Structure 1
Amino acid sequence: MKKFGALLMVYVLLLAISACSFSKDEEVMMDWHTSPKPQAIMPGNIAGKTIIRQYAYNDMENWRPYANQKCRVFYRRDIVLDLNYGDKDMSRGDIVYHVVPGSVRGYSLSRIVAFGDERVRIKEGQLYINGKVLDTFYGKFQHKGMSLKQYVDVHKRRERDKNEAHIMKMKKQCKVNMREIIVPQGHVFVVDDDWVNAYDSKQFGALPTEYIKGKVIGYIADKEQKRHKNIPL
């Protein structure tokens, strides 16, 4: 029975992993300028119209390897925001600090993946822009900086991550689908890096650009960080 249970679990995982892939024959959209590793900024190198905020959420974990906790570069860290950031400066892949529509959460970080008049679709955990696969590190399902397979491989020796309910939850989120929408002009479609902990355009829809208050240019590298309240700008 134990052997059968183990084989069943492997089968479930293989189904989940395959659900997060896309056909190599599909057209792709790349992003060559955005790095998955955020910039570490020394306190003395902050210039221009910037502001520092401490970020209290874990929806932007993307820096591998998770085993060393290095993906938590924003969670409870002091982040540096460029307030001179406007519509003309926006690029795909930018991390922005924005008002969360209709939420008591107030402000959040998310990544821009699409602009006004672009078509956005999610098929089994993969983002499509104008019918093309967004083939980037942020264009598909990930949790704590990893695909489902990577996450399971890292945690396979931890009993809590062998729980079938946990695996099935991950599988469901990996296969998330969203019908194609057209982003209205004056809006962007934003997605958090960690899809499991996300609250982004997948839930509240396209974000008005007027809700964006700044661009994240990095985090404070100083180990002795001061505490800054996450108050409205």
Structure 2
Amino acid sequence: MSQKKKIAGLLQRYPFVDFAVAIATERVQRKNVLRTYVDRERKGRWKSYKGLRSLVPDIAGVQRGLDPSARADFSTIEKGLVSRCHRDDLAFNTEAAKCLFDFLRPASMDAYDDHPRASLRIAPDRTILMGVEHYVVDGERAAFRYVHPRKERLEGHLPDILMSLIHHNYVRDDYADFEVEIIDLSCEPVIGPRGGIKPGEIRAPRILRLDPSDLISREDLNEQADHIYSLLMELSEEI
């Protein structure tokens, strides 16, 4: 298989949040971080939250049909997850979906999913799906929302990197006045008796918002993306 086909296959499964993690990683450490995805590629199927992501609009209460009260209840969400998830992924997708459902319902703002979907372009003909599945409107305010379903907490500059990438790819044209938010379903980290930190087990959902002063420039992000792509091309030889 050619190098280009290898990297294309890898990027089809490369999670958007992990690309942001690579940007947040110091350059000298990036290759080792990226190698974990090459190793995962060799081992076959990746576990994912694809089932949950496909149902985020329904969980958020996007209205379907002519009846404005016709919002999916959680039993309908569960049935959708069964048909969308690999059997090994069903339990953690369902658990995260229930957390998201309880966090967003009842919601006072309207949710929609009629926006164009954007992919993160990191090289000619090479993109990563971003997974921004809905936006909300609350009076004069509107915001794109990205759901982070993992239990690992978003720390440091990682939320700003994620939201800056979303901003540069979504906030334009008819959506130029939109804000960007993350619904973070992660757990509060647990600090051990010797000061070690590990992910907790109880989800503590929260909403993170991008402050305009924390927006990272497109030029800076492009520079980091070029470096990551060059490393992935090198590592694709190991697949």
| TM-score relative to the length of structure 1 | 0.23
Higher helix share: 2
Structure showing greater relative contact order (alpha-carbon pairs closer than 8 Å, 6 or more residues apart): 1
